Structure 1
Amino acid sequence: MATFKHISSKNADYGAAEKYLTFQHDEFSMKPTLDESGRLVPREDYRIAALNCGGEDFAVACMRSNLRYGKNQKREDVKSHHYIISFDPRDGTDNGLTVDRAQQLGEQFCTDHFPGHQALVCTHPDGHNHSGNIHIHIVINSLRIESVPLLPYMDRPADTLEGCKHRCTDAAMEYFKSEVMEMCHRENLYQIDLLHGSKNRITEREYWAQKKGQLALDKENAALAATGQPVKQTKFETDKAKLRQTIRKALDRATTFDEFSALLLQQGVTVKESRGRLSYLTPDRTKPITARKLGDDFDKAAVLALLTQNAHRAAEQTTAIPEHHSTQRGRLQEEKTAKTAPKENGLQRMVDREAKRAEGKGAGYDRWAAVHNLKQMAATHNFLTENELLDPDRLDAAEKAARETLSEKREALKTVEAALAAKKELRKAANDYRRTRPTVDEHRKLKGKKADRYYQANEADFIIYEAAKRKLRELHPGNKLPSRDKLNAEIEALISKKNALYNEYREAKAAHERLFTAQQNAQKLYRQPSRRKEQSHER
């Protein structure tokens, strides 16, 4: 299956890209491999071509264009974009894919989708892990030297203009992936769906962490084997791989989201939901890992779907084999009773049957309410007995204490959330100030009409600068800007504190709900006049 990857680079040395493509490099350090004489070792086999460079070297052509248009002169500018198309190793043997054919496909792909850009297209016959997969490197100068037609992935007029820069947006990546899939389909090559993610998403960083960890583990095991000591572990697992296993084990056992969260919490993993997305915080981290970085199996929709399946499976296993019903009415009555039955090991409020009769509820509902009240009476009595709360005064005191604890947890959580929001606002203001300050400093050097024209061309930056300066005066009095690293550390610490407080708040809320329900039921259960009346009705 072909895969598609994008890497942006701020390296001003365009020759480094060509050096990487044509000479051997260490797969871990990415440093060039040298021979005994200290010279670079060329790659054994590759195909390379330069496009839109006018017969010049790729690096020289890119630097000329940058100077001509005054672009890519700052350190923070993205100088080049590196796209990689990797084919399935089986394509060579099963589908006849050759290095020369792959090079042709790469040059055509570059011509069709990156017109107007100076580019290098290079094809290697094998990956760094010796898997035998043919892959294409396409390196383009971020600057466009010719005006081009509007392509499907472009959404701004500037995306077509000469002297403007290439933007790799999410929409562009989806378009490029769909084009790679179409190319593989046209060439009868193996292909997977690149547009709908993967169950286990392995990032570039995690991939290299696994490779380096496995290499270190192999060396350690070799040393142990040489001394005759037993080997405990042969396969290295990253922290994300261990987290995936922990989540999958919890998903196999849980039937509800609360149960899923509780099982993970036992392993020290906190589940957090924000804007409909899940993230997982492990004990050794201050910043949670989002489900998107783990894979599609761990996002909210997939987790809820699996929990629903588990609940249905558990219900089917625990439900007794239904007896033959003489009437359809009897079967429907049992189904209704099962749906309205209280949760196992849970408390529910007792029903005020008199009030429901006054509302016009029928005899069927009244019979169900009588059974429901009897079950809740027993559950409430057991709860009060187990917690030694049969005395009404002690129950009232316990409920009041639980309510006060819940209020304290809620206020503490709100305080941390407010502090976190303020820190994030301060960080945004500081970043906006740092980003727009060079524009303001440049404007101060100009005079007359030049200054007016410069202001009009960069008016948005001036507005952002003034707003950021006002916000900094409000949140951070003083002349010194807050440290970026210190702010990030404070924000991460507040996020960790917020997650811990949220778990405490959720536990306090559940405890108060149980006590409050027990208190309401106890008032009806042990209230003498109404209790006699309730018993007379139930007879």
Structure 2
Amino acid sequence: MPEGGISTATTYIRPYKTAAGKSAIQTMEDRFNYGLNPEKLGVVSSYLCDPNTAPAEFLLVKSQYLAETGRAVSRGALFFQIRQAFLPGEVTAEEANRIGYETAMRWTKGKYQFFVCTHTDKAHIHNHIYFNATAFDRSRKFHNFIGSSFALRRLSDRVCIEHELSVIQNPCQHSKGRFLHYGQWIGEKPPSAKQRVRLAILAALEKKPTDFADFLRLMEESGFAVKQGRGGVISFLAPGQEKPTRLRASTLGAGFDPEDIKAVIAGERPLPELPEEPTVPPRRVNLIIDIQERMAQGKGPAYERWAKVYNLKQMAAALQYLQEHHLTDYAALTARTEAAVDHFHKLSDELRTTEEALSKTSELMAATVDYAKTRPVFDGYKAARYSKKYLAQHEVELATYRAAKDTMNTILNGAKLPKIEALKKSRRELAGQKKELYAEYRDAQRQMREAVAIKANIDHLLGITDERENKAQER
């Protein structure tokens, strides 16, 4: 069942709820017994639980969660199962179990009980990883998010590369010839609860509900609980969400008020626009550490052990980057790095030019306003034949007039003064251009830093020691 991926391991994640006609503990026992089947099992490992008593231990944490928070655990998943499969002959059962354990630990961040069952009954060794949906410290519940399978697959890829497993050359191609989307999910956040509600609202409106009641029915069919509060306030509770989200513009943004929704249903206005959520840039790839140089500075053996693990992870990230971007030779990597650097500097120049133009436009607008306000005062000074008494009475206004005139002469440099409305329009356009360029600039900066760090690490791996080039890359 290969799903594609960078390493030899393929993965999927699945939530399990209480099965119909069975209790929670019976549901877990049925699934866990499959993983612990001695005819299939090669190796088993666990974290914060005993696999043989895991159903009772998982349930105990859930009951403690209910007692401490008053929140029911029956609404969401009881537990999650991760399946992680390897190519035949790629790993031993012990190696596969270690990889599964590390994957589970990094996926759950050590906050959830889990156990790893490595099966050897088929040609390909594979792991069944079961983890509790409720955190061991009762602080939270795990909710499957949009793109979780992509995030898990990429994490599994990274762990496999760090363990020096082989690499599949066509990571996005399905075994049946279909191509699968490989989400760039590391460092990205899943949609927030508000965004999930917005997406559901838009999906419901696209189905052309007949009235507002029909709209609410569509929301319920999509899995959202509809809450009616005081004063007729409507809220939606997303699956796995603990706090409902109110249907109002102050919460969800313009166009998401009940009256707005009713207007859309009546055909009086278009669908509201989906606000963009702020994104977190992907985790940076750092330069590897020169262990020998650091050891010469007096670092101890413990530091050396840490640095070796750190360098291994950075090289794993570098190899994953090469595979994802189809960089099959050194020349392609060099070209991509140079292109990233050139693009960043080009955007830097464009952003600097735009900022300077915006600054001059704003300065000219301010000077024009000051000039218009103080020109009558100067005309009075002129009519008074430059009287010292008049000057003393209006010294501040006259100073402002002279400064505004000097600024206008410097900026215009003999050109005709534009109308104030034209200046306002120019400032709005430049401000919008700056905003767009800045977003591109930050993304280009991230891509440049990543590409430069990757190339420097590959240079180190290949033994390329051009000091000038490496220093320039590091800088």
TM-score range, shorter chain: 0.3 to 0.5
TM-score of the aligned structures, taking structure 1 as reference length: 0.35
TM-score of the aligned structures, taking structure 2 as reference length: 0.40
Greater radius of gyration (CA): 1
